[in-house]
Amino acid sequence: MANIIDGKRISAEIKDEVKVKADELKAKGIEPCLAVVLVGEDPASQVYVRNKKKACEYCGIKSLSYELSADTTEDELLSLIDKLNADKSCNGILVQLPLPKHIDENKILLRILPEKDVDGFHPYNVGLLSIGKADLKACTPAGCIELIKRSGVDITGKRCVVVGRSNIVGKPVGMLLLAENGTVTTCHSKTKNIAEVCRQAEILVAAVGIPRFIKGDMVSQGATVIDVGVNRLENGKLCGDVDFEEVSPKAAYITPVPGGVGPMTIAMLMKNCITACRKQNNL
């Protein structure tokens, strides 16, 4: 039976490390600060924003909260981002997605200064990631790498398969595995013999957005399986992209859903905020 990778425990470790770094900055008279912008009243987004505020409070990071109505115009949002870009006391800007349909997400994300892009979504930071030079890495993919490494699994030389090629998880996690000297294959909806490709993986990352897509016969004995998916079933329960019951007897390490990758995203956001603050203060 697989060892369960405890995302709650590892994310708590990272937040404790961030707290120490935040205290060191405060001792130098620098207060790290994150601005979180929420447009509209999407319930899931409201929960995420609340959790981010709580994490900031725990880590000793000042949080600025902007909760705007759903009819906020694109120009009004751009104007707020310009204000935050110009504010030297604000180190990170996070605009909670999804945005209302009348606002162009790409335009908004491009407007955030790359050095304040704590989500790691700006094309400039994605470009740095692709050449192995990124300081601000996309939070969920960076969290996946931490889960693997802090479980004692060495990525170097391992055959890694990523299922999914989204800009948010699939592509960046592939680049991060490559940076850790993994040998990476990316699978997607057009991949032929996908089960066969997955069976070759020593490290398998599932980020495809299909409930229980990865079955037991798609995983090799002793693999490390990272499940990024969060899917809500008709009965209201959450499940991942991996069929946990089928896969866990074969895997050596596996992340559960919930409690695996999920908690890592906010922990890595806090880490990015400290990184941004240090860089902006030439530390």
Active site (catalytic) residues: 52, 96, 119
Q: With the CA atoms of 126, 130, 133 and 134 taken in that order, what torsion angle do they form, in degrees rounded to the nearest 10?
A: 30
User: Burial level of 46, CB count in 10 A (0-12/13-18/19+)?
Assistant: middle
User: Residue 62 CB: number of other CB atoms within 10 A?
Assistant: 17
Q: Map residue 242 onto helix, strand or coil.
A: strand
Please provide residue 220's backbone torsions phi and psi, each rounded to the nearest 5 degrees.
Answer: -85, 155
Find the helix or strand (DSSP H, E) in which 145 lies. helix 139-150
Contacts of 133 (CB under 8 A, 6+ apart): none
The token pair that represents 63 in the structure block = 């949080």
Please provide residue 174's backbone torsions phi and psi, each rounded to the nearest 5 degrees.
Answer: -60, -45
